[in-house]
Structures are given as structure tokens and as C-alpha cells.
A and B are shown apart, each in its own frame.
Chain A
Amino acid sequence: MSQFAINLLFVGASFALYIGIAIWARAGSTKDFYVAGGGVHPITNGMATAADWMSAASFISMAGLLASGGYANSTFLMGWTGGFVILAMLLAPYLRKFGKFTVPDFIGDRFYSNTARFVAIVCLIIASVTYVIGQMTGAGVAFSRFLEVSNTWGIWLAALIVFLYAVFGGMKGITYTQVAQYIVLIVAYTIPAVFIAFQLTGNPIPMFGMFSTHTESGIPLLQKLDDVVSALGFQDYTADVDNKLNMVLFTLSLMVGTAGLPHVIIRFFTVPKVSDARWSAGWALVFIALLYLTAPAVGSMARLNLMTTVYPEMAGQVENYEEAAQTPILYEERPDWFRTWEDTGLITFNDLNNDGRIQFYNDAADYADRGWEGNELTVNNDILVLANPEIANLPGWVIGLIAAGGIAAALSTAAGLLLAISSAISHDLIKTMINPNISEKGEMLAARISMGGAILLATYLGLNPPGFAAQTVALAFGIAGASLFPALMMGIFSTRMNNVGAIAGMLSGLICTLLYIFTYLGWFFIPGTNTLANTPDNWILGISPLSFGAVGAMINFIVAFAVSSVTAKPPQEIRELVESVRYPKGAGTAINH
């Protein structure tokens, strides 16, 4: 059977599964549509949350980020997991107790203000829409690479599948497909990692293999990797970072952003009890950690494999790296996977010194003494996970599995985001703000139409990604962290916080963060319009625009408390509302109002 047929079989089987689930889990009421009926088991919800959370970026890009950045990119690992600790303790159980369907529901009711509700809706939509673009393009890449269809067809196909189960099943359909998608993606991620860890270290558990001995050279794997990359002028994989302030703030921004992203928060509205919301956050992190603990092993091992593919002599070396560097492989003798990925343009080779060999090193380093005239190989970081099975010579079915896994990761996150967007429109905007008299049936229809509209918008943006698609991390996490997270937290932990304070806080956190991001990344992300060059010298106190979400959150807290303390106390019934969300007693399943 050809590789194409195998890929088609795996991806096709996974789609049949998702559609089967969609038919089984049709939504019969708005409660089904928004919170899956409110009866999801905490472990099931943990698994769905893990798939909801782990996007194309986690599945495809994270190992590549770690491979290229090493220790410095540990921020992503800690940020995207540590957020669940604050989510579990500061938000999820209380928002579950509050018992409504959406995040703007809480902000609007708690701050007794439709202005606050509207600000929350706008923040939610901007954060979720920017985030969904990356999922659509990620699905497009996976489709086009593995199913040999064009990128455009890939994105339309992804949109069609999501449409089928999200529009009919709502949160109910999404929840159970996410469970299936989690299983597909974790199996796909783990199997190649186990093979590679075993090949390189003899230890089949990647998270332990990473810290064991590299079989071929007899020295620890990470030391081996440091030696190899430094012989080629790259920074050590484990090298420490000088700008600790920025590293701390970036990690913190990712954490508060994670806790404030609406598509994750609403998953906790689907469990039956407040205590389930707490357990469920723990399970979600267990399932996420299965991938996140493996990712650094995949990153470091794939990097070493890549290096020793180009410099075969280096694999067994312990000290003569200088000599081994003289004999990289001949371009003519490159392995097959190399050729496959060259076709996609994600690996490129340019023989600058015309010796027929591949000199692959840090371009900033000067190796004229070795007769090298510049780095000749560029490898896109994103291919590491996808190419991993081929690099390690694994059987064809593993490649088919990776294809299904990458697509599952992109689809599951896209569906969660689309639900957050459509419920903000149909429930918060239409039902709560515009037409409170809308019938249950009417709201369901509105929810389905807004879901369809959101999918079309996401497809359009996936096909025509705006210039800022690459900046989604800064934007989505900046907005969620600087505006939504502090407002939600203060709404629960401060009985004194009033409407004016919360709105002033959200707006100032949001605006300061956007101003800082725009200053360095271009106004409204239009390339070339940035006021200052995006270099560490220009950053205030060395804080990168990506790290500013944490500062924005602090501004939000300070402004909110300052404004609130000089304006009127919230009314008595609001203080009672805050009291009630603090105690689990009396929580029903999520209800309509």
C-alpha cells in the first residue's frame, strides 16, 4: 500500500469517527448546545479540555520551538501548563457555580453593566478569531502535506468537517469528538517519540530518555546535543537566558492568558458539580502533560537526529567535533525524507561553496577557516514533528497516524474556539442584549447560524491569512490575560469591585497591551508601520511585546482598584451574587436565565 493510501485510510477513519459521534450527539436544547447538557464526567471533560487546549501549535510547532530555542523556550511549556493551576484555583470552580453559559454572561451580570458585557464580548471575539486563523492554516498544511491536496482544498475540507459536528452537535458534539481527537493526537504524538527515545538512548520513555545516556557516544544525550550544536556555532541547547525579567514576564503572560481564554473556561461549565470543575482541571493537566512532558524530548532528540543526519561522523564522537564537521553528507546522498520535504519548500539547500556537501551551521558564526562560505541549509521548525517518523525510519502507518493527529489537534481547538465565538454572538449579543424575548428554538437557530458564520469567517481568514497571523500568540494571550482574566478574578475575589472600576480596568489593560504590541509589531499589524524597531534594545526594561500581557494585567488590577475605591459600592444583590459563587452549596447544572 502506498504512503498516500495509508494516510488517506488513517485520516478518513478518524473523520468517519468524528462524524459518527456528531450524529450520536446532536444538540436538542440550548443547554446541550452551550454546555453539553451540563452532565459531562470530569475525566471526560479533562480529556476534551486537553484536546481543546492543545492546538496545531502545540502538536506541530512546540517541539520545533524547543528544538531551536532549547532552554529559552521552556517558557511555552511552563506557561501553557501553569495557567491551569490558576484556572483551577482562581476561576473555574466559581464560574461553574455561577452556572450560566458564557464568559460575558458572568462579566455582564457581576458588573451589572451591559457595557462591561459588550467589552467582554469584543475581547472574546478578537482573541478567539485571531486564534482560530492559526488552526485553519495548520489544518491546511497538514492536509496538503499528507493528502496531496492543495492548501485551499485542505482548509475547505477542515471547515466542512467542523461544520458537520459543531453546527449540529454544539458543545455536546464538540465534547465527544474532542475526546476522540485527544486519543488520536496523543497516540500519534507518543508512538514516534517512544521509537526515537529507544533508538537514541535505549530508554523507551521519552521524558526519561531525554536525561539518559546517548547510546552511540556513551555520554548524556543533552550534553551530546550541546557539544554538537556548539561545534557548529549554535547556542547550547541548555544555555541559560540573560534577560530573566523578560522570561518571567513571558511565562506569566502565557499563564494568565491561558487562564483567561474563553474557549478553555467554558469547558468547565459542562461538568455537573463545582468539585468536578476542580478535579476536571487536574485531569485536563494530566492529559496535557502527557504531550508537554514528551515535547522537549521530541525537540532535543529530533534536533540531534537532524544534526547527525547531516554530519554522520558526529554521532559517535566524544571530542573530535572539529574533524567530524569537515565531512557533512554529500547533497547527492541525502536521505529520502529530505527530498520529500524539499518538495514542500520547508527544507532548502543552496551550495554556496560548491563542494557538493551540506554545510549546516549558525550563519552568524564565521567558519571561513573550514572553507565554509555561509550556512547552506534551512529547515523549517514546524516540520520536526511531522518528519520525525521519516527521520527515524519508522513504518508507514506511523506517518499516517501523525497526519491524523495533526489534523485532530487543529480541528479540536478550532471547534472549541468557534463555539466560544458563536455563543458570544447568539447568547450574549442576541439573547441578552438585543432580543431577550427570543424563544429557545429561535436562540438555537441563532446559535447554529452564528456557528456557520464563524466557520465561514475562519475559513476566509485561513485562506487569506492577514499579515498578523504569526502574531496571534501576542494578541490572543495579551487580550485574554490583560482584560478578561483580571476582570473575572476581581469579580470573584473582591466584593467591593464595581462596574466602573471593572470597565476602566479592562479597557486600560487592553489598550496599554495593544499600544505596546502595535509600537513594536506595527499599528494594527500592518508591516512597516511600527514606531520602534522590534529589537531588545528598544524594549522598555527589556520587556518584549510578547511578554507585555502580564504587565497589562497588572495595569488592569491597579486601575480597577483605584477607580473602584473612589466610586459607589456595588448594590447589595451583587454582593450577594459574589458571596453565592464562592460556596459550592446550591449549585445546579448550568441554567438558562
Chain B
Amino acid sequence: MADDKSNAAEYWKANVRLIFGCLVVWAFVSYGCAILFRPLLASIPVGGTDLGFWFAQQGSILTFIVLIFFYAWRMNKLDQKFGLGE
């Protein structure tokens, strides 16, 4: 029982760590590259405009998709590793 509990706690910790990592990327591409750091990326041209603009209208959405699938894939691995899957 005690093992079950610490196993479950480990699983939850790993999940929270993974979420934190994903959300750092999530915030970096949208609030970072697309908004706050846009002036810093102004020198990188993308089709008639700059990289920050591309992130705002395309790049962040593409990154979001990758993030969700990455999270789902990693969590499936964690479910198996800790024996907590369905």
C-alpha cells in the first residue's frame, strides 16, 4: 500500500514536471516569439515580413499541435511505466 502511494506520487510528480516543460514552450512561442520578443526577431525575414509575425499567425499554432501530441505520447509511456494506465 505504501509502495502504491509513493509510486502514485512519483507518477504525479513526473506528470507535473512534463506539464511544466510543455507550458514553458507554449508560453515561449506565443507570448515570447510572437509578442514580446518580436522586435528582437525583426531581423529574421520570412516571406515579406519577420519571424515574429510568422510565429503569431502560423508558428505558435503548429507548435501547440506538436505539444499536445508530445504530451499525450509521453503520458501514455508514464501510464505504462508506473502501471497506472487503464
Contacts and interface: CB of A to CB of B under 8 A. Distances in A.
Interface of A: 66, 71, 74, 77-78, 81-82, 84-86, 88-90, 93, 207, 210-212, 219-224, 226, 238, 240-241, 244, 247-248, 251-252, 273-275, 278-279, 281-282, 285-286, 289, 292-293, 296, 493, 579, 582-587
7 contacts: A77-B61, A84-B68, A244-B36, A275-B76, A275-B86, A582-B11, A583-B11
A71 B53 contact: yes
Interface of B: 8, 11-12, 15-16, 19, 22-23, 26, 30-31, 34-36, 38-39, 46-50, 52-54, 56-58, 60-62, 64-65, 67-69, 71-72, 75-76, 79, 83-86
B19 A89 contact: yes
A107 B75 CA distance: 25
Given A81-B64, A275-B85, A584-B85, A211 B54 contact: yes
Nearest to A223: B48
Contacts of A282: 65, 68-69, 72
Contacts of A226: 48
B84 A583 contact: yes
A252 B31 CA distance: 9
A275 B72 CA distance: 7
Contacts of A585: 83-86
Contacts of B57: 66, 71, 74, 77, 210, 296
Nearest to A210: B47
A86 B31 CA distance: 14
B4 to A, nearest CB: 10
Contacts of B83: 585
Contacts of B56: 71, 74, 77-78
Contacts of B31: 248, 251-252
Given A223-B49, A584-B86, A78 B72 contact: no
Contacts, number: 141
Nearest to A72: B56
Given A224-B48, A583-B8, A89 B86 contact: no
Contact of A240 (B38, B60, B62): B38
Indicate the member of B31, B38, B62 with the most A CB atoms within 10 Å: B31
A225 to B, nearest CB: 8
Nearest to B69: A282
Contact of A207 (B11, B48, B58, B65): B58
Contact of A89 (B11, B22, B46, B54): B22
Given A219-B48, A278-B68, 18 more contacts: A66-B57, A74-B56, A77-B56, A78-B61, A81-B60, A85-B68, A89-B19, A210-B57, A211-B49, A221-B48, A238-B49, A240-B39, A281-B68, A285-B61, A289-B62, A289-B64, A579-B8, A583-B84
B12 to A, nearest CB: 5
A85 B84 contact: no
B29 to A, nearest CB: 9
A241 B52 CA distance: 12
B62 A244 contact: no
A77 B47 CA distance: 19
Contacts of A274: 86
Contacts of B49: 211, 220, 222-223, 238
Contacts of B65: 282, 285-286, 289
A420 B7 CA distance: 37
